[in-house]
Amino acid sequence: MCWNLDLEDFGPPRWSLLDTAVVGRDAVRWDVDGDGTAEIVFGGLDSFLFVVDPRNGHLQQSRSVGAPITALAVVPAGRLAVGTADGSLILLDADLSPIARTKVGDAEVRCVTVLERPTGRRTIVAADETGLAVWVAID
């Protein structure tokens, strides 16, 4: 399916990021500060995680996780799962501090998601580019 869209139909952009060279492959909406508005969170190939206010584009906070960020997933209870190019899966809390870290493998993490099991328990699943996967129970 192909879409023929005229970008002028959307109006002018509200804001833009000037330094796009650091932007990685994934972004999520996450209410980091608990104010009821989900911020835009994206990972950089420079290893930094960026939190941006969607209303004005202002950078609210950033933090390095030590390796290029390749995948993100919002985890219930105010947490964020981060996959990295060195094969790590990192769980961060709302102030972007690491809570836990594990190795998926030696290859780049390509996918991170949160699955809810039939029992209601949730699990973080991360897979690297070789197909190796890790499951981490979160509750």
How confident is the model at residue 1, as a pLDDT? Answer: 36
Both tokens of 13, joined, read 């952009």
Q: Does residue 108 or residue 9 have the better pLDDT? A: 108
CATH code where residue 55 lies: 2.130.10.10
Are 69 and 47 in contact by the 8 Å Cβ rule? The answer is yes
Whether the Cβ atoms of residue 37 and residue 54 lie closer than 8 Å to each other: yes
Q: How many domains does the chain have?
A: 1
Work out the pLDDT band at 69, boundaries 50, 70, 90: very high
**Residue 124: domain span:** 21-137
Q: Is residue 2 part of a domain?
A: no
pLDDT score for 8: 58
Question: What pLDDT score was predicted for residue 98?
Answer: 95
> Is residue 127 included in any domain, yes or no?
yes
pLDDT over 80 at 133, yes or no: yes
Mean pLDDT of 78-82: 93
